[in-house]
Amino acid sequence: MLRAFRKYGGRGRRVTSIIGTLLEVLIIGGLLYAGLFVKAEVDIPQIPQPAIEKRDAFYGVAVPAPKIIWAVGTGGKIVRSDDDGQSWSVQSAQRTAHLQSIATWDKDRAVVVGNNGAVLTTRDGGRSWAPSQAPLSKVANKLLKVKALDAGKAWAVGEMGALLFSEDFGATWTRRAEEKDVAWNDIFFVGDNGWLVGEFGQMMMTTDGGASWKAVAAPVKSSLMGVAFRDKLNGVAVGVAGTILSTRDGGKSWSTADSGTREHLLNVIWDGNSWIAVGDKGVLVTGGLDGAVSRVTRVAESHLGWSTQIIRDGEGYVLAGAVLARMGNGGLRMLGRKV
């Protein structure tokens, strides 16, 4: 009996040991399976992406009506605010090319131009954007500026001498000058009188609404970036290395003015009281009726970013460039984000 107990008792212990080992293997295997293949569902709250991000730059801006601001820029981005910049929405343009300029006829109708010959229009406030048919060059097609005129007319300018005209709110375009190796950077109209400025100090003007254009001699050979007139006779053009030119005979002749800066000037406007030019490193230049510079300062003391456009808006100004901002008596206020 004792022998039998030892015989079968030992076998029982071995069976128990085997079962224990199998259970350990099953438990470890189950844990490994859970770790490798069973993924716990974690409810991570989605953080809303801001309409204007720190990486965004805006090259063009428009204010078609009080409290409405439209801006376009890097990566095909179009943003709009209907409450004076307090809140913003991103509008889908289905483009990734940089957008350089926007012009508006009213709060609903606008046209945008940019790199790779991009031309887009909207007739519903930007809820939808449609590509337009525009003549393309085989060499280069960056469009740098667009201006909207009365009765649905618009002009767009850019690389390879692009001078494009539309009279159906930007839906279709025709070329109004032959291609040439020059970039036109800006265009401005007062009635039927118009002026073009571009690379290498090149300028052209028209007195018949753009039906014909003629070259105008400039006193500089450096690139001109912006032009504006306060009437048919008095105008100012600005450019690289602080260039300022003024005319008092409708653009037939131009003279240089001492800007007091060597920073590139990229845009100029007549705000009803004075000339205002903006450009690199936060530079802000103001001038009197005759185009002579009266003051050189910055858009804000601590701001060293570049500005590509300035627009008068009520008692203040809206700036496009490295940041989208409002400038007024309260200083410089960033729109849409903090920097």
**pLDDT level of residue 264 (50, 70, 90 thresholds):** very high
Minimal CA–CA distance to 306: which of 263, 270, 268, 252? 263
Mean pLDDT of 203-229: 98
* Residue keyed to tokens 């960056």: 142
The whole-number pLDDT of residue 290 equals: 85
210/336: higher pLDDT? 210
Task: Extract the tokens encoding 30.
Answer: 């189950």
Quote the DSSP letter at residue 39.
P
Backbone angles phi, psi at 3, to 5 degrees: -65, -40
DSSP H or E stretch at residue 111: strand 110-114
The whole-number pLDDT of residue 330 equals: 79
Mean pLDDT of 122-139: 96
The whole-number pLDDT of residue 241 equals: 98
**pLDDT level of residue 15 (50, 70, 90 thresholds):** very low
The whole-number pLDDT of residue 329 equals: 86
| pLDDT exceeds 90 at position 218 | yes
Q: Residue 23, Cα to own-chain centre: how many angstroms?
A: 66
CA distances (Å), origin 234, targets 145, 183, 186, 205, 207: 21, 24, 17, 14, 15
CA distances (Å), origin 182, targets 141, 177, 225: 12, 12, 13
> What is the spatial distance between Cα 203 and Cα 290, in angstroms, rounded to a whole number?
20
- What mean pLDDT, rounded, does the chain reach? 89
The helix/strand/coil state of 47 is coil
**pLDDT tens digits, residue range 314-327?**
889 999 999 999 99
Q: What percent of the chain is predicted at pLDDT more than 70?
A: 85
The whole-number pLDDT of residue 84 equals: 93
Residue 316 identity: G
Q: What is the pTM of this model?
A: 0.85
The whole-number pLDDT of residue 8 equals: 40
Task: Extract the tokens encoding 109.
Answer: 């109708």
**pLDDT tens digits, residue range 138-186?**
999 999 999 999 999 999 999 999 999 999 999 999 999 999 999 999 9
Task: Extract the tokens encoding 329.
Answer: 């008596």
| pLDDT exceeds 50 at position 9 | no
> What is the spatial distance between Cα 239 and Cα 137, in angstroms, rounded to a whole number?
25
The whole-number pLDDT of residue 230 equals: 97
